[in-house]
Structure 1
Amino acid sequence: MAKIKEYPVIFKNFIIDILKGDFNKSSVKLKNAGISTLDKILSTDSPIRYTIWKINNKKKIKPIKNSGIKFAIIYFYKDNFNKADFNKLKALLDKQNYKNYEIFIDKDNLINEILQKNCTHICFVEQKDIISVFTLSSLANLINENTDIIYSDNDVINQFSIRVEPYFKPEYSPLLLYSHNYFNGLLAIKINGNLINELKNIHKISNNEIYKLILRLTRQSLKIKRIPDILYHKHHSNYERDKNISTQETVQNEIKERGLNAKIIDYKHKNYNLIKSYPIGEPLISIIIPFKDKISYLKQCIDSIESKSSYKNYEIVLVNNRSSEPETLDYIEKTKHRALSADIDFNFSRLNNMAAKAASGEYLLLLNNDTEVITPDWLESMLGFAQLSQSGAVGPKLLYPNNRIQHVGIITREKGVNHINSLMDSNKSGYKNYNDVPRECSCLSGACVMISKDKYWEVGGLTEELAVEWNDMDFSLKLINKGYYNVFCPHSVLCHYEKISRRGKHKTSLKQEIKYFMDNWEQVLPDDPFHNPNFSGKKTGFAIKLD
């Protein structure tokens, strides 16, 4: 996008294009310049962003041939059936350019009627909610034989019939799904024996019953796809009602059924569940801390671990990287913790790999020396998630000394990465409470990250070609590439004084490392599965794209 200083040239070229009669070219240039300005001015959560998005994403109805895919649209309601609302949905379905569907009103033994009509997929629409005229064609274009569940983004129709509050969702994220049913609206499920049996046990369809259904279905490995487009519009009355409905019991029962050592703890938003995972047993955790002098920060870090940690089965492995100050050398000589000597040029990856080989723990925790523990249960909170078979690395919430957010997960972008909600007040929950709920993310900060030793070496540890920066991003993506989920753990909170010990150094190395990182990961960076392509990734990471 254009920078402010480029505007005189832009307007000069605009006038030249007008004089040449090239109105299309000139209007495109002016539009781009305007969008660039708006993107800088508008806040992340400005409703104007979504208004512009809706204008830019208007679609033309294209003909599509009916296929063997046949949708059963289940219309359900809470109390009383409203014929006018039902007819409104029927009118929208009549406008669908994909015509192979049947609509059913929720009642007993509904599944038998659906099977008689030879439907292949089920969709749910609540009374008063409506769907886009492109909904069925969008589903039909994406579905193939291996697709079990499809869901889309959604928004809300307010009391003035204006579409607001868009929810642009990530791809399937198992932990995030415990916090709330983000699959719901729009949701399509392939009909098979398992679904039929589950539906037979539901006497009346409701959002809570749909949530239970999704949680039960996802106990097994499924092919789940997301459509990053608004295909479902919730009525504001349904939306407001759902804000005050708790699903804590539903999720707690599911956790019990799955045999997870976890529970739902109290949270300020009733319609969100805050899951906390607890460790099984007390495996040894090796806390690895590389350092070079700056003994005041190292002592503060270690003192906070020793005085605040409620989990006691840990060892601290210090990695001394050419410290020379007398006070530091004296501390090393007297410390009760193991101190390795690394007489090498600074290489964060190599220092950690050296210590990982020497560590005795079943789990490793890589920790910067410029950090300070805040929450006493920081170790066991991360360990509970790290023990899950699907988890790769687990990272905490990191705060700056001014109590603003430094790290709650990292997204990948076309030209790199971005900390989401960086510099936001730590008391704020952020977009969809992302600052507060455990969830999957593509990358984690290497300032503090926990992982099992086996998984650490499964991906070769930290890449030593990345000596200073990008090694944590590279490590995270290697784990994703192996099929693991990296987890943000909000229950573990530390203060991070960031780059105290190496600010302004290694500039030459950084350029080489950026190139190495981009050469290896450039192809996957634009498609962060735990973000949404309708976000620009700028500012807090949740600014809706304007172009």
Structure 2
Amino acid sequence: MSAEKGLESTGPKVRASTDPAPSPQENAPQFSIITPVYNPRYRDFLRCAKSVRKQSFRDWEWCIVDDGSTKRLIWPIIRILASFNRRISARRRDTNGGISVTSNNALELATGRFIVPLDHDDRLKKKALQLVSEAVERSPEAQLLYSDEEVINARGRLLKYLRKPEWSPERLLCQNYCNHLSVLDRALVQQVGGYREEYDGAQDHDLVLRVTELTSNVVHIAIPLYQWRAIPGSTATAVTEKPGAIDAGRRAIEDAVRRRKINGEVIAAGEMFHRVKRFPSSAPKVSLIIPTRGTDGPIFGLHMPFIKNLLMALNRHRTYPDLEVLVVSDAETPSGAIPRTLENLDVSTIPFPHPFNFAAKCNLGAVNASGEILVFLNDDIEPVSEDWIQTLVAHLEPEDSGIVGPMLIYENGLVQSAGHINPGPVIFGRGESPLSKHGYGMPLWINRETSGLTGACVAIRQTTFYEVGGFSELFPNNYNDVDLCYKLQLAGYRCLWTPDARLYHFESKSRETPIEDWERDLASKYWGRFISTGPDSHTT
């Protein structure tokens, strides 16, 4: 028996916890694969073992801990594996401790720079560790790497390919989208205390949340390196197979919200996931900037100017305390389009005596605004959520939040925009139900980073807006919002989208805006490298 009571060991001698960490001269491996084992099907575990032994990259060790399996051949198989390969170390627990306790036992055996969690019935692709090592060479500062993955059935046949988004910390606060394969810096894992057994079922999500509070050096490898086996009882089949995992995930997120001092509430996002509904910690002055030319059209069966409908709706449903409204109007705007007296709104009209230029009108409104937060609105908008302004303000509280947008829906209730995705840029979610589960991780249900946002409704701090130079007037009609979002990302800010703020957008009723070839060419000239990738590149 080992010095630790209840753990039988085999394989290379285990370093005592009081020994110094291995130095480079001691030839510690780059990767420590850790696998807690409990009663897997023999065939599945042997295939798992084969996937490790057949890795094209050889600088690894495999740390296996049997969590008191009751299948009598599991431990003998593990001992045989360890006896024939000096890179495999193994322990056996006399009592079942659960996945977190057993994973921590495996972590104690690890000596590599990175740990590579591997479930006992899953498989690594043959070049998995090689491609991770190459990614580390390209990004030596990386402390968390994650890859795309494949879901396979009991016979090993491919069921689906999970294409994951680029690094998205806001999404991670809703769901563990990194999942398999995740490769973590071992020193960082030890620094945060390893796995916590009170979050069994969501222990990997809890660990990644804590690790990423200490590092933003995250790399996405957009290749499937892991095969997740869907068998009865596995969340690869359905998360409802382990209902306790859903509750554990909620509690892990709630703990992260407390640690990060976020003013918010963890709410359900469908049956599987959660999201943080944020509330503002203060009420900074907000300036609503609304370009208009007084166009009218049908709105829910009534024919009226869009700007009039918007202002009347804002007046009826005002819930935000410190608010000013700036209407930037063309000379052709009819005099009766803008209501003169609104008891709940402070409305100022700013004339724009130039040819139509949406970007220039927005910039003129910003120059005249006195609010800490600028909200740019099309005139063919009508709020649905009573607290939509509060929600947008709350998402701008983190220092690295650059801009935030809401869910925009058509008059018929279908989605008009849920952010931009790349390559494209393409408007995500258009024409779908707000309840649609389309896309990886149900992106219409969760807060997330996005490649861009439509300028029909966005909120941004005034200081940030000026820092990046506002809207580029080189794009008078289209791509001005795309340009703004890329400038923000280049400056290190995040573009955020949330379904907790919803507004109607009567798109194309106020102004038809066909995209010209020169606009596409100019956008590509400036932002071609951004257009090819982004936080939501693989949302669909």
* 1:399 Cα deviation from its structure 2 partner: 0.9
Matched, 1:131 2:124: yes
Q: Does 1:461 align with 2:455?
A: no
CA RMSD of superposed structures (Å):
2.5
On the 8 A contact 2:450/2:536 being kept in 1, the answer is: yes
Change (3 A) 1:203 1:250: closer
Counterpart amino acid of 1:325? P
Supply the distance in 2 between the matched residues of 1:324 and 1:183 (Cα, whole angstroms).
Answer: 50
In 2, Cα distance between equivalents of 1:340 and 1:327? 15
Matched, 1:417 2:399: no
Indicate yes or no: 2:368 matched with 1:358.
yes
Answer whether contact 2:264 2:276 (CA < 8 A) is retained. yes
1:425 and 1:297, CA in 2 relative to 1: closer, same or farther beyond 3 A?
same
Contact 2:34–2:106, Cα closer than 8 Å, also in 1: no
- Asked if structure 2 preserves the Cα contact closer than 8 Å seen for 1:407 and 1:445, the reply is yes
Count of matched residue positions in the alignment of Structure 1 and Structure 2: 459
* Match in the other structure for 2:435: 427
Cα 1:198–1:85 change in 2 (3 A) is farther
> In structure 1, which of residues 373, 378, 391 is the aligned counterpart of residue 388 of structure 2?
378
1:446/1:373 CA distance change after superposition, 3 Å:
same
In 2: Cα distance, 1:189 partner to 1:114 partner: 12
Residue 516 (1) aligns with residue 509 (2): no
Distance 1:82 1:72, change over 3 A: farther
Work out whether residues 150 and 187 of structure 1, in 8 Å CA contact, stay in contact via their aligned partners in 2.
yes
Return the alpha-carbon distance in structure 1 between the equivalents of residues 507 and 198 of structure 2: 53
- Which one of 319, 330, 335 corresponds to residue 321 of structure 1? 330
Kindly indicate whether the alpha-carbon contact (under 8 Å) linking 1:309 and 1:379 is maintained by their aligned counterparts in 2: no
Question: Could you say what secondary structure the match of 1:171 adopts?
Answer: coil
The 1:114/1:365 distance shift into structure 2, 3 A limit, reads closer
Work out the CA distance in 2 between the residues paired with 1:103 and 1:136.
12
Residue identity opposite 2:169 in structure 1? P
Q: What TM-score do the two structures reach when normalised by structure 1?
A: 0.78
Cα–Cα, structure 1 residues 110 and 178, in superposed 2: closer, same or farther, change >3 Å?
A: closer
The 2-side partners of 1:469 and 1:242 are apart by 42
| 1:86 equivalenced with 2:15 (yes/no) | no
1:388 aligns to 2:398 (yes or no): yes
What amino acid is aligned across from residue 97 of structure 1 in structure 2? S
Separation (CA, whole Å) in 2 of partners of 1:200 and 1:134: 27
Runs of at least 5 residues in structure 2 that lack an aligned partner in the other structure: 1-26, 66-92, 94-100, 297-304
Question: 3-state SS of the aligned residue for 2:311?
Answer: helix
Q: Percent identity?
A: 24
User: d(CA) in 2 for partners of 1:93 and 1:267?
Assistant: 36
Q: Distance in 2 between matches of 1:97 and 1:190?
A: 21
Indicate whether 1:242 and 2:252 are aligned.
Answer: no
Q: Which position in structure 1 is the counterpart of 2:227?
A: 233
Offset at 1:449?
0.3
Within the alignment, does 1:310 sit opposite 2:319 as a pair? Answer: yes
Residue 357 of structure 2 corresponds to 347
2:58 to 53, 78, 99: 99
User: 1:161 Cα deviation (Å)?
Assistant: 3.2
Range that drifts further, 470-479 or 111-120: 111-120
Specify which of 205, 213, 222 is matched with residue 216 of structure 2. Answer: 222
The answer (yes or no) to whether the contact 1:124–1:188 under 8 Å persists in 2 is: yes
State the Cα distance separating 1:109 from its structure 2 match.
Answer: 8.8
Greater Cα offset, 137-146 or 402-411? 137-146
Q: Note if contact 2:199-2:252 (Cα within 8 Å) is conserved in structure 1.
A: no
TM-score computed with the length of structure 2 as normaliser: 0.79
Higher strand share: 2
Q: CA deviation at 1:90?
A: 1.3
Contact conserved, 1:111 with 1:199, CA < 8 A, in 2? Answer: no
Match of 1:20 in 2: none
Higher helix share: 1
**CA 1:174/1:370 → structure 2, altered by over 3 Å: closer, same or farther?**
same
**Which of 494, 498, 514 pairs up with 2:507?**
498
Q: What is aligned with 2:143? A: 148
Other-structure match for 1:525:
531
Cα distance change of structure 1 residues 96 and 341 upon mapping to structure 2, 3 Å threshold: same
Q: Which secondary structure state, in structure 2, belongs to the residue aligned with residue 397 of structure 1?
A: strand
> Does the CA-based 8 Å contact 1:387-1:452 persist in structure 2?
no
**Structure 2 residue 422 is the aligned partner of structure 1 residue 406:** no
Greater relative CO (CA pairs within 8 A, separation 6+): 1
